[in-house]
Amino acid sequence: MSVGARSRDILTQFLVEALVLSLLGGMTGILFGVVGSSVISGIAKWPTIITTFSIILSFGFSIAIGVFFGFYPARKAAMLNPIDALRYE
């Protein structure tokens, strides 16, 4: 804000960061889940079924949680006075 950004720009920047982190976390979690279930299935000889719906659902929850919990810090940062932010930096 001290160099000309609007509150909306700050809010967008924080929300995009939260979205990217939740996307990466969701993809990593799905990858670990698929690999882990394949390993367990191979070792224990258990049949595993991974549906497209369960992957989409888990990915959707990852995104929803990331955006939901990213909104509060984004809004707080957007409303922060630039003088106060620079004073404690």
Structure tokens at 67: 């955006």
pLDDT at 13: 83
Residue 40 lies in a domain: yes
57 within a domain of the structure (yes/no): yes
Task: Give a yes or no: residue 22 inside a domain.
Answer: yes
Tell me what the mean pLDDT of segment 76-89 comes to. Answer: 70
Compute the distance between CA of residue 47 and CA of residue 39 in angstroms, rounded to an integer: 11
C-beta of residue 78 within 8 angstroms of C-beta of residue 41 = no
In a domain, 43, yes or no: yes
Q: Is residue 86 part of a domain?
A: no
Q: How many domains would you assign to the chain?
A: 1
At residue 10 the predicted structure's pLDDT band, cuts being 50, 70 and 90, is: confident
- Whether 25 shows a pLDDT value over 80: the answer reads yes
Report how far residue 68's alpha carbon sits from residue 82's, in angstroms, rounded to the nearest whole number.
25
Average pLDDT over the chain reads 84
Domain residues for 41? 7-81
pLDDT band at 88 (very low <50, low <70, confident <90, very high): low
In a domain, 17, yes or no: yes
Between CA 66 and CA 44, with CA 53 as vertex, the angle to 5 degrees is 100
Span 44-63, average pLDDT = 91
State how far the alpha carbon of 33 is from the alpha carbons of 36, 49, 59, 76, 77, in Å. 5, 12, 12, 34, 34
Q: Does a structural domain hold residue 77?
A: yes
pLDDT band at 75 (very low <50, low <70, confident <90, very high): confident
Residue 61 domain flag: yes
